[in-house]
Structure 1
Amino acid sequence: MQAWSALDETEGRNSVLRRRTSIRLLTAIGAVVATLAATGCGSGGVPDSRTKLTVWLMSGPVPDATVTAINKDFETAHPGVTVEYQVQQWNGIGQKLTTALTGTSGGPDIIELGTTQASQYTSQDVLQDLTDSIGDLNGPQWLSTLKESGSYGGKQYGVPFYAANRVVIYRTDLFQKAGISAPPTSGDEWLADLAKLKALPGIDPLYLPGQNWYALLSFIWDQGGELAENVTGTWRSTLNTPQAKAGFAFYKQLVETSGTTAPKDTDEATPQQSDVISKGDVASFLGFGSELAAAITANPSLKDKFGAFPIPSRTPGATAPVLEAGSVLAIPANSKNADLAMDWLKIETSAKYQSQLAATDSVPGTSSDTSALQTTPVGKAMVAASKNGRVTPNIPQWTAVEADNPLKSALTAYLTGRKSLEQAVSDADSAITATLTNSN
Structure 2
Amino acid sequence: MKRWLKLAAGAAAITLATAGCAGSGGGDDASGAGGGQGSTLTVWLMTGSAPDSMTKALNQEFEAAHPGIKVDYQIQQWNGIQQKLTTALASDTPPDVIEVGNTQTPAFASQGVLTDLSGDAQNLNGAQWLAGLKASGEYEGKTYGVPFYAASREVIYRKDMFEQAGIAKPPASTQEWLDAITKLKAKFGSDKEFQPLYMPGQNWYALLSFIWDNGGDIAKPDGKGFKSTLDSAGAKAGLEFYKQLVEASGTTAPKDNDEANPQQAGIYGGGKVAMFIGVPSEVPTAAETDPGITAKTGAFPIPSENAGKSAPVFLGGSNLVVPVNSKNSDLAKEYLKLLTSTKYMTQVAAAGAVPGASTDVSALSKDPLGAVMAQASQNGRAVPTSPKWGEVESGQNPLKDMLTAYLTGKKNLDQATADANTALDKIIGG
Instruction: Give yes or no for TM over 0.5.
Output: yes
The structural deviation recorded for 1:100 is 0.8
SS at match of 1:300: coil
Task: Name the CA shift for 1:301/1:228 in 2 (closer, same or farther; >3 Å).
Answer: same
Task: Name the CA shift for 1:89/1:269 in 2 (closer, same or farther; >3 Å).
Answer: farther
Residue deviations 1:283-316, cap 9 Å, x none? 1111111111332355322132111110001111
After the TM superposition, which residues 93-242 of structure 1 pair with which residues of structure 2 at under 5 Å, given as runs?
93-105=81-93, 107-199=94-186, 200=188, 201=191, 202-231=193-222, 234-242=225-233
Residue deviations 1:119-148, cap 9 Å, x none? 101222211122222222112111122222
The structural deviation recorded for 1:322 is 0.8
The structural deviation recorded for 1:81 is 3.5
CA distance in 2, matches of 1:287, 1:214: 10
Question: Where does residue 23 of structure 1 map in the other structure?
Answer: none
Asked whether the 8 Å contact 2:280–2:370 carries over to 1, the reply is: yes
Asked whether the 8 Å contact 2:30–2:328 carries over to 1, the reply is: no
User: For structure 2, which runs of at least 5 residues remain unmatched after alignment?
Assistant: 1-27
CA distance in 2, matches of 1:347, 1:193: 46
The answer to which of 192-201 and 329-338 deviates more is 192-201
CA distance in 1, matches of 2:30, 2:392: 46
Decide which structure has the larger Cα Rg and report it. Answer: 1
The structural deviation recorded for 1:229 is 2.0
The answer to which of 227-236 and 189-198 deviates more is 227-236
Residue deviations 1:42-61, cap 9 Å, x none? xxx9733xx43222222345
Asked whether the 8 Å contact 1:46–1:79 carries over to 2, the reply is: no
CA distance in 2, matches of 1:382, 1:208: 19
Residue deviations 1:375-421, cap 9 Å, x none? 12212212221232111112213332333310001111211222222
Aligned: 1:313 with 2:304: yes
CA distance in 2, matches of 1:122, 1:207: 38
1:143 maps to amino acid: L
1:361 maps to amino acid: G
Q: 1:342 aligns with which of 308, 329, 333?
A: 333
1:219 maps to amino acid: F
The structural deviation recorded for 1:259 is 1.4
Question: Where does residue 66 of structure 1 map in the other structure?
Answer: 54
Asked whether the 8 Å contact 1:53–1:84 carries over to 2, the reply is: yes
Question: Where does residue 423 of structure 2 map in the other structure?
Answer: 431
Task: Name the CA shift for 1:233/1:118 in 2 (closer, same or farther; >3 Å).
Answer: closer
The structural deviation recorded for 1:436 is 2.1
Q: 1:284 aligns with which of 275, 278, 282?
A: 275
TM norm structure 1: 0.84
Question: Where does residue 22 of structure 1 map in the other structure?
Answer: none
2:221 maps to amino acid: N
Asked whether the 8 Å contact 1:46–1:78 carries over to 2, the reply is: no
Task: Name the CA shift for 1:154/1:234 in 2 (closer, same or farther; >3 Å).
Answer: closer
CA distance in 2, matches of 1:189, 1:435: 38
Q: Percent identity?
A: 55
User: For structure 1, which runs of at least 5 residues remain unmatched after alignment?
Assistant: 1-36
CA distance in 2, matches of 1:275, 1:338: 45
CA distance in 1, matches of 2:391, 2:201: 21
Asked whether the 8 Å contact 1:58–1:87 carries over to 2, the reply is: yes
CA distance in 2, matches of 1:180, 1:61: 37
Residue deviations 1:306-341, cap 9 Å, x none? 111100011111111111222110011112222222
Task: Name the CA shift for 1:424/1:77 in 2 (closer, same or farther; >3 Å).
Answer: same
Task: Name the CA shift for 1:182/1:246 in 2 (closer, same or farther; >3 Å).
Answer: same
Asked whether the 8 Å contact 1:208–1:262 carries over to 2, the reply is: yes
CA distance in 2, matches of 1:344, 1:231: 36
Paired residue total: 396
The answer to which of 424-433 and 191-200 deviates more is 191-200
How large is the Cα RMSD of the aligned pairs?
Answer: 2.2
The structural deviation recorded for 1:155 is 2.1
1:406 maps to amino acid: P
SS at match of 1:346: helix
The answer to which of 213-222 and 149-158 deviates more is 149-158
The structural deviation recorded for 1:346 is 1.6
Question: Where does residue 47 of structure 1 map in the other structure?
Answer: 37
CA distance in 2, matches of 1:287, 1:118: 24
The structural deviation recorded for 1:114 is 1.6
Question: Where does residue 19 of structure 1 map in the other structure?
Answer: none
Asked whether the 8 Å contact 1:164–1:324 carries over to 2, the reply is: yes
The answer to which of 83-92 and 142-151 deviates more is 83-92
Aligned: 1:81 with 2:82: no
The structural deviation recorded for 1:232 is 5.3
1:172 maps to amino acid: K
Task: Name the CA shift for 1:348/1:39 in 2 (closer, same or farther; >3 Å).
Answer: closer
Task: Name the CA shift for 1:249/1:89 in 2 (closer, same or farther; >3 Å).
Answer: farther
SS at match of 1:401: helix
Question: Where does residue 384 of structure 2 map in the other structure?
Answer: 393
CA distance in 1, matches of 2:302, 2:122: 34
CA distance in 2, matches of 1:298, 1:278: 5
Normalized per residue, the structure richer in helix is 1
Task: Name the CA shift for 1:292/1:240 in 2 (closer, same or farther; >3 Å).
Answer: same
Task: Name the CA shift for 1:395/1:302 in 2 (closer, same or farther; >3 Å).
Answer: same
2:263 maps to amino acid: Q
Question: Where does residue 364 of structure 1 map in the other structure?
Answer: 355
1:251 maps to amino acid: Y
The structural deviation recorded for 1:162 is 0.8
CA distance in 2, matches of 1:38, 1:323: 41
Task: Name the CA shift for 1:225/1:70 in 2 (closer, same or farther; >3 Å).
Answer: same
Higher relative contact order (CA 8 A, sep 6+): 2
1:432 maps to amino acid: L
Task: Name the CA shift for 1:326/1:38 in 2 (closer, same or farther; >3 Å).
Answer: closer
Asked whether the 8 Å contact 1:61–1:360 carries over to 2, the reply is: no
The structural deviation recorded for 1:362 is 1.4
CA distance in 2, matches of 1:298, 1:224: 39
SS at match of 1:180: coil
